[in-house]
Structure 1
Amino acid sequence: MNLNHLQYFVKLAYLEHYTKAAKDLSITQPSLSHAISSLEEELGTKLFEKQGRNVILTKYGKIFLKYVEKSLEYLQEGVDKTKALTCATSGLIDLGYIYTLEADFMPNMVRKFLDENKDKNFGFTFSSNNTKSIIEGLKNEKYDLGFCSKVENETSIDFIKVKQEELVIVVPKNHELSKYNEIDLIETISYNHIVFTKSSGLRQVIDNLFKQIDKKQNISYEVENDSSMAGLVAQGFGIAIMPNIPFLKYFDVDIIKLKSPAYTRNIYMAKLKNKYLPPAVEKFSKFVIKNCNVK
């Protein structure tokens, strides 16, 4: 079914005159007649009937008109929406990022971007998750850009380093370890540890640190995100090895430098290779790279 033919049909339905409709549509009358005949042949019914010099809709033409108008309106809405999302001065950017970035890095980056583009109409959606889910979200186009750990052997994704996070030891306020500015990891093994779940990219990193000293931590609780971890530590459920992130200052905890083995985690901006990015997404991606400057 031809889109132009549907538009011609609507015009004729309202003007009820072939010559007037053809003139409004800037086509010849024979072209309009052919379009209507094609529709009637495809539908197997008459859409118009003569009334003097005019034509009016048949019973079935009136029914068909309702659906055609709804369809054309919905199609136009889709066209307008797509143009709005992909033009250079507006657009929606879907972001997925790991939990450590939700309180500081991501809001600050977006705020700076919007401040530099006050004459534009950019919008964002925000979603925090673990690295595995973010990578899956990129592949199924839930996210335009992901901010997470690097995943080896992900050949379809580009990883661009944007941030580094130092791992520290977090203990309840006035804990017996609080008197130290820095300690070795081996000095924590006698305490209960709150750890990330195995779906977290950090879990394997921290487990490997303990393997380096040939020890195992005493695991008391497993959590999905950093805020839950800090909250449990603050309430005395255990200690934790976690990134030194800004929001820790809002919890009743002490932060101790991890002396040995020290570890700094790299955070990357992830995006699909050979994937078209709308102008808004491309602009934000370049802005992040320019403003992070991490080697």
Structure 2
Amino acid sequence: MQLTQLEYFIVVARLEHMSQAALELEVSQSSLSKTIGRLEDDIGVQLFDRKGKSIRLNEYGRIFYEKVEKALNDLQEAKTEIQELANIREDSVAINVMNSKLLPKLFYDFYKKRPNVKIRQYLLPDKLALQKLVCGEIDLMIVINPIKDDRIQWVPLFTEEVFLVVPKNHPLAAKESVSLIETKDEMFILSETGQNFRATENQLFERAGFTPNIAFEGEDLSIILQLVNEGKGISFIFKHSFLDQYLDNVKILEISNPDCFQTVGIAWNKKRKSSFVVNSFRDFAISFLKDSTI
């Protein structure tokens, strides 16, 4: 029994279609059929029920599939662990981030330590990013507020202040700070419901004791702030956002009441095994971001 036979068997069993499996494996259908035939001869039983061009796993095949799939996964995990321990295989880290001015230096400093690691950075809407984190398409999220999901581990990194942002010609622009209740009759441009920053905004309104008038909701904070820049309403911005540099027609105000802060954390799927490099980046990010905001 050869490893190639087992790998071919897994594909045929998954697809239950010989020609499709041959295309996926990039081998001829006749060669694939012979390989599966030799595997069945080695085991001593038929693993598939065949009727014309139709092929289906039988009872023996289903049992064998479960065992082979686990064995191949264990072999791959063992190979990965050994390569990582020996430091002979550089890996990649896929991470969804928020628009924080702290992150470029984080990536740069980690890259200096591990120059062969490929960092794939995304700026996806929170709901989509969480979906990709759950299914393993991304490894980590740097995100506002805890994620309430049993599959996700979230660790706080730092707390940052949230400010009010208004057009320069707005009456409030004459002030340096405001109580949020002073804005109860204003038109707000807010993050879309479901976005993590919207949870922060909702908490602020709840603590201030009023329901806002909402002119626009969006998932892209840069568009929201550009609308404020164009005088279409008022909104919020957090301390470490880099978007303030693109706003030339706004005034950023401290909020004196209530205290306006949010907590930024890093999240990962605790149900999935992370690579050595992902774990290294996560630990580095936790240390770096906590130290950089002290």
Tell me if both proteins adopt one fold, taking TM over 0.5 as the criterion.
yes
**For 1:177, what is the secondary structure of its paired residue?**
helix
Is 1:276 matched with 2:273? yes
Report the AA paired with residue 280 of structure 1. Answer: V
Q: Aligned runs of 1:170-185 on 2, under 5 Å?
A: 170-185=165-180
Runs (4 or more) in structure 1 with deviation over 4 Å come to 38-41
Cα gap change, 1:216/1:255 in structure 2, threshold over 3 Å: closer, same or farther? Answer: same
Q: Percent identity between the aligned chains?
A: 23
| Local SS of the residue matching 1:293 | helix
Tell me which moved more, 209-218 or 121-130: 209-218
Q: Which residue of 289, 292, 295 maps to 2:289?
A: 292
> Who is 1:116 aligned against?
113
| Cα distance change on mapping 1:5 and 1:105 into 2, 3 Å | same
Q: Quick check: 2:181–2:208 contact (8 Å CA) kept in 1?
A: yes
Q: CA 1:41–1:290 in 2, change beyond 3 Å: closer, same or farther?
A: closer
Q: 2:221 aligns with which of 213, 226, 231?
A: 226
CA drift of 1:207 comes to: 2.2
Q: Per-residue displacement from partner, 1:101-141 (whole Å, max 9, x unpaired)?
A: 3xx233221111112334xx100111112333322221100
> What's the Cα RMSD here?
3.1
5+ long unaligned stretches in structure 2: 7-33, 41-75
Q: What is the DSSP-based 3-state SS (H/G/I as helix, E as strand, rest coil) of the residue aligned with 2:93?
A: strand
Distance 1:218 1:130, change over 3 A: same
Structure 2 CA distance for aligned equivalents of residues 278 and 198 of structure 1: 33
Return the alpha-carbon distance in structure 1 between the equivalents of residues 105 and 3 of structure 2: 46
CA distance in 1: counterparts of 2:263 and 2:218, whole angstroms:
21
Counterpart residue identity of residue 273, structure 1:
K
Q: Distance in 2 between matches of 1:40 and 1:283?
A: 41
CA gap 1:277/1:235 in 2 versus in 1, 3 angstroms: same
Query: Are residues 238 and 140 of structure 1, via their aligned partners in 2, closer, same or farther at CA, if it must alter by over 3 Å?
Result: same
Measured in 2, the distance between the counterparts of 1:135 and 1:40 equals: 40
- Give the 5 Å matches for 1:77-226: 87=84, 88=87, 90-98=90-98, 100-101=99-100, 104-118=101-115, 121-151=116-146, 153-226=148-221
Q: Report the CA distance shift for 1:257/1:4 in structure 2 as closer, same or farther (over 3 A).
A: closer
The 2-side partners of 1:242 and 1:40 are apart by: 61
Please give the alpha-carbon distance, in whole angstroms, between the structure 1 residues aligned to 2:286 and 2:205: 33
Residue matched to 2:234: 239
After superposition, the Cα gap between the structure-2 partners of 1:93 and 1:39, relative to the gap in structure 1 and judged at 3 Å, is closer
The answer on whether the counterparts of 1:193 and 1:238 sit within 8 Å (CA) in structure 2 is yes
Partners in 2 of 1:242 and 1:111 — Cα distance? 25
Do 1:97 and 1:134's aligned partners in 2 also have CA atoms closer than 8 Å? Answer: no
2: CA distance between counterparts of 1:207 and 1:289? 27
Unmatched 5+ stretches in structure 1? 7-37, 45-78
The question of whether the paired residues in 2 share the 8 Å contact of 1:130 and 1:199 is answered with no
Give the number of equivalent residue pairs.
224
> Are the counterparts in 2 of residues 196 and 225 from structure 1 also a CA contact under 8 Å?
yes
Cross-structure match for 1:265: 262
Is contact 2:154–2:268 with CA below 8 Å preserved after alignment?
yes
Question: How do residues 37-116 of structure 1 correspond to structure 2 at under 5 angstroms?
Answer: 42=38, 87=84, 88=87, 90-98=90-98, 100-101=99-100, 104-116=101-113
Looking at structure 2, the residues matched to 196 and 231 of structure 1 have their Cα atoms a distance apart, in angstroms, of 13
Q: Give the TM-score, by structure 1 length.
A: 0.67
Aligned-residue offset at 1:187 = 0.9
Which deviates more from structure 2 when the two are superposed, residues 109-118 or residues 207-216?
Answer: 207-216
Mapped contact 2:178–2:254 kept (Cα < 8 A): yes
For 1:272 and 1:92, locate their aligned partners in 2 and report how far apart those are by CA, in whole Å. 16
